[in-house]
Amino acid sequence: MSTVTTTDVDLAELANIDDQEYQGFKVGDLRTAFTEIHNKENWKLRIHARVKGVDFPKYNAAAIFFAGSPLKVTAIWEDGTVDVYGDGYYQCIGA
């Protein structure tokens, strides 16, 4: 078993984690997107939200990054928005 020490971690890189990318999006942008869609009482619960359809890839990446849960589109609206559902963190880890 190995132990990670602070000398093993690039602290400057950790400080700039929001500038790192995941699935083509900056982590800071994913954090903002996830904050918009997660359950406000407990972020680990199921996700139910309405988002702009053109932004679905960003919200999906955010849900996967933070909760491990891909989103499913459950309804498409004439105004270009979509209803999305995600299992949430608890479901993904089997809690």
- What are the pLDDT tens digits along the chain (95 aa)? 556 555 566 666 666 888 889 999 999 999 999 999 999 999 999 999 999 999 999 999 999 999 999 999 999 999 999 999 999 899 888 87
Domain residue ranges in the chain: 6-93
End-to-end CA distance of the chain: 26
Phi-psi region of 68 (alpha: psi -120 to 50; beta: other; left: phi over 0): left
Residue 89 contacts by C-beta under 8 Å, 6 or more apart in sequence?
A: 43, 44, 45, 66, 67, 68, 69
The predicted pLDDT at position 18 comes to: 86
The predicted pLDDT at position 91 comes to: 85
Token look-up 């700039």 returns: 16
- Determine what percent of the chain falls in helix, strand and coil, rounding each to the nearest 5: 45, 25, 30
The predicted pLDDT at position 60 comes to: 98
The predicted pLDDT at position 50 comes to: 98
